[in-house]
Chains A and B, each alone.
Chain A
Amino acid sequence: MKDIIQATGLVKRYGEVVALDGLDLSVREGTIVALLGPNGAGKTTAVSVLTTLIEPDEGSATVAGVDVLKDPAEVRKLIGLSGQYAAVDKDLTGYENLDMIGCLYHLGRKRARSRARELLDRFDLADAADRPVKTYSGGMRRRLDLAGALVAESPVLFLDEPTTGLDLISRRELWRLIRTLVDQGTTLLLTTQYLEEADRLADDVLVIDKGKAIAHGTVDELKDMVGGERIEIKVADREDLPAAHEVLGRVAVGELQGDERSRTVVAPVTGGARELAGVLQLFESNEVPVSEVVLRRPTLDDVFLALTGASAESREQTSEPAKPGRRGRGSR
């Protein structure tokens, strides 16, 4: 299979801020790739370059073999984009929005109309189709915006944080929609801050931070890369924290993360449930009372921690040096 999106050495600076710092990227035809990274990592900037909205300072990119810089007009014919913020006209109805987009993709009046109705049906917006968008909820606007990206059945789709700001139910619903709509040979590049979202949707994940790719692989590969699972133990008494550190230190395969205020210690492990039972026995025999226990797969925060040595949430601004995490996860 060939690469349908190709980018090499993308650099984009905004004054002092380096939004993209030599980003390389390739997406094979017919796959779903997630660009995963915290706020300010450069996800939107990367999507904007690939969708011809901004020009990079350095580097080059092609979409379906067409050069993004040399022939942007041609690229626009091949892509569908749903940006980070819903780009719909609030005074128009949902139907009018999609109809207009279809016309501007040059589908022809008739096709634009039927496609608009079709998508409104599929996105569960048929009842609201003839109401102005300003009466829509946030989730409905998001869905409409997403439908806008699908109007022309473009071979390459870009979705920038499609579910950010949605409640859990709308988010699940959108995941379902994206999966059913995109499995027919379409290539999709989506960006997200949530490993779970990448997990649900993507074949491959590219983790980016400070405008650079720092890891690449399937979700499972990434999770394995940072070490199997996490045991998270909350002790009943703050004074027991050193003891908890000592006990968990015996089984951990990597560095422990402790947080004094929430009285928790997190240990990367590989032994799963059996190991957990052993750990609990150790706590028991050392007479360290435990109030909460969690065995879980690594989260995005853990992946970041492992890859960059700082927690994702403390890295929201790439222009600033990494600080210790707000919740103190970074403390040693």
Chain B
Amino acid sequence: MNFLTALGDGLVIARRNLIKLKRVPDVLVFVLLSPIMFVLLFAYVFGSAIDIPGGSYREFLMGGIFGQTVIFGATFTGAGLAEDMQKGIIDRFRSLPMSRAAVVLGRTASDVIYNVITLTVMAITGLIVGWRIRGSLLDALAAFLLLLLFAYSVSWVMALLGLSVPSPEVLNNASFIVIFPLTFIANTFVPAESLPTVLRVFAEWNPISSLVQAVRELFGNIPPGAPEPASWPLQNPVIYTVLCACLIIAIFAPLAVRRYVRVAKKS
């Protein structure tokens, strides 16, 4: 019962966030431009610089760019919440008989739509610069769903961060500290096997690596002669990624909701 109320109220808030996204076009421009920029930048700057035996580095890279972009996009969740908390409307929410989880739930939910837009734009840009889906359509769909699920879980981490920073401006710096090492100490742009030992172990167990690995496999973007990954997470990337996403949500969703209640009470 309580859960259903939370879901319903979350949807109301999500609808409100989407209206705002539509109405504040500078945000939407950023939503559309940054994935295009990422694809072009990586495809042309790195894609032509590195050779991969038996395959196209540009195609190999695309999975990494997908992964990195949706994770960077999660910052949006934190920024949105940090901004909300400074607005008068929160005072209204506090006096309404709505679920205390609704604001955070609605924000993470509306950001799924944001990620759908981002992925679509990115995929189209990718197709234009020569990326191809070489597996089945069903696998490709699974790849997109996996990206959305993992992005959703990172959204909850960023939600907690967004509710813990004093202002939206601080959030960008704070989130980069988390995101940069996570996305770069991974197989996002270079094969994990080529990293020095300590970093390699980290990269192998980094769920971003497994996400990217899974996406590459599902899109059929692994070059034919590529060596089998040595670690369990990368051998079973889909299962490992789903497990990690669920674990992250299970830990961070309650923390973020509790944090919201605490912050809302103080103002």
A residues apposed to B, CB below 8 Å: 51-55, 73, 76-77, 79, 81, 83, 85-92, 96, 100-101, 103-106, 132, 148
- Min Cβ gap B174→A in Å is 25
Residue in contact with B95 in the complex, picked from A52, A88, A89, A92, CB distance below 8 Å: A52
When C-beta atoms are compared, the residue in chain B nearest to A112 turns out to be: B12
Residue contact A105 to B95, C-beta cutoff 8 Å: no
Beyond A87-B88, A92-B20, whether A103 also contacts B95 by CB under 8 A is no
Cβ of A101 and Cβ of B92 under 8 Å apart?
yes
User: Min CB distance, A202 to chain B, in Å?
Assistant: 22
Query: If A91-B24, A92-B19, A100-B16 touch, does A85 touch B91 (CB 8 Å cutoff)?
Result: yes
Q: Is the interface of B mostly helix, strand, loop or mixed?
A: helix
Q: Are B91 and A83 within 8 A (Cβ)?
A: yes
Report which of B23, B87, B91, B93 forms a contact with A104, defined as CB distance below 8 A: B93
Please tell me if B181 contacts chain A, counting CB pairs below 8 Å: no
A88 touches B92 (CB 8 A): yes
B179, chain A: closest CB distance, angstroms? 27
Interface string of B20-49 (1 = CB under 8 A from A): 100110000000000000000000000000
Q: Please give the distance in Å from B98's CB to the nearest CB on chain A.
A: 4
Known pairs A85-B88, A103-B12; A91 contacts B95 (CB<8 A): no
Q: Which residues of A contact B15 (CB under 8 A)?
A: 100
Task: Report the minimal beta-carbon distance from A27 to chain B, rounded to whole angstroms.
Answer: 18
Task: Find out whether the CB atom of A92 lies under 8 angstroms from the CB atom of B16.
Answer: yes
Q: Which residue of B lies closest to A158 (CB)?
A: B95
Sampled A-B contacts (19; CB under 8 Å): A51-B95, A54-B265, A76-B96, A77-B97, A83-B95, A85-B88, A85-B91, A87-B88, A87-B90, A90-B87, A92-B16, A92-B19, A92-B23, A96-B19, A100-B15, A100-B16, A103-B12, A106-B97, A148-B92
B5 — which chain A residues lie within 8 A by C-beta?
106
B residues with a Cβ closer than 8 A to A are 5, 8-9, 12, 15-16, 19-20, 23-24, 87-98, 102, 265
Q: Is the CB of B23 within 8 A of A91?
A: yes
CB distance from B19 to the nearest CB of A (A): 6
Taken together as a complex, chains A and B put the C-alpha atoms of A55 and B262 apart, in Å, by 12
Report how far A71 CA is from B24 CA in the complex, Å.
38
Give every chain B residue within 8 A of A52 (Cβ-Cβ): 94-95
Residue numbers in B under 8 Å from A53 (CB-CB): 91, 94-95, 265
A91 in contact with B20 (CB, 8 Å)? yes
- Cα A280 to Cα B211 with chains together (Å): 92
Chain A residues within an 8 Å CB radius of B88: 85-88
CB distance from A114 to the nearest CB of B (A): 17
Which of A79, A87, A96 is in CB contact (< 8 Å) with B16? A96
| CB-CB nearest 10 A-B residue pairs | A87-B92, A76-B97, A87-B91, A104-B98, A77-B97, A81-B95, A87-B88, A103-B12, A89-B89, A91-B20
Chain A residues with Cβ under 8 A from B91's Cβ?
53, 83, 85, 87
